[in-house]
Amino acid sequence: MKKRTGWMPASVLAVLMTFSLTSCISVNLFPTEKGLQETVLSGVGARDKLLLVPINGFIGDQTSRGIPFLGGRDDTVTRIRATLRKAAEDSRVRGIVLLIDSAGGSVTASDRVYHLVREFKRKTGIPVMAMIGDMGASGAYYVSVAADEVWTHPTSVVGSIGVVIFNVGVTGLMKKIGVEDRTLSSGAEKEMGSPLKPMTDKDRSLFQGLISDLYTQFFDIVSRNRQIAPDILKPLADGRIFTARQALKNHLVDRIGYRDDLIRHLKRLMHVKEFEVIRYREPFLAATGIFGSESPADSPLASAGQLAGMMTKSGPTMLYLWDPGFSGSIK
């Protein structure tokens, strides 16, 4: 009998390659627990390091591991926690810039990232700046106010202070196709928000109470961190978004500029001649496509997919999110 070799059969390899191209599959041969790898972007050899930390796409705290070695990727909270822990252990890291480009995410994940940043600042004394790219809305803005200063690009969109619950109903469709809901529950409000039942006035009132409480927390976080009096912030915090100049005028951000402007500002502020600008990345091949291309996990489609998945699994989900593409029925 011919001895089998350790090589993967060509037929199996072909199937994997085809699946990768059609499904945007990602290969994770080295879990992130093995450690983040440092990449130097500029200023090689400088004594002081400036760490850039991307916060992109949907801010969530649910990790989908999928098939072993395939599709593994850490959620936002886990990734930021690991990044800040590594930075705290490196005495050469003198500053951090959060590169924010997100429409927000879940209420809890946004608050957890905010808390991680605040705790990092408290324990290390290292300054943290936020630099908003295309968008820093809702939960992403919530995270940004944990920073010492919030910067935006001239064309950034900022704000959307508020809470939303996306909820849909299919009772009309059920009647048309002859589907009957036979769900049993212990109380009338146990099925509150079910797409299989009409929303009652009491349901809506209870949901509104939840939203009001979470909105108050968001409002207080912004008011306290941005030092904006509640009566001045109130008309700005109705969910609307602002351009960079509007946000600056209303004290929602500190400065308008570019990344290089922010780095120069930090050099002056910290009396540093040159920074070694770095990023942390997952080990080679982790969360990348089979050919080494970057994972699409932060793409708009991936973010929409995450949101749709949360709605499917959890029903009505409370979000710090600006996404008019999903018609929110409760705000």
The set of catalytic residues is 138, 190
**What token pair was written down for 98?**
């959060």
**What angle in degrees, to the nearest 10, is found between the helix axes of 76-88 and 107-124?**
0
- Among 323, 306, 305, which Cα is nearest to 137's? 323
Could you tell me if 260 and 158 are in contact, meaning their C-beta atoms sit under 8 angstroms apart?
no
- Among 314, 310, 313, which Cα is nearest to 326's? 310
d(CA 306, CA 300): 10
Alpha-carbon torsion (109, 115, 119, 120), positive or negative = positive
Q: Which residues pair with 320 in a beta bridge?
A: 105
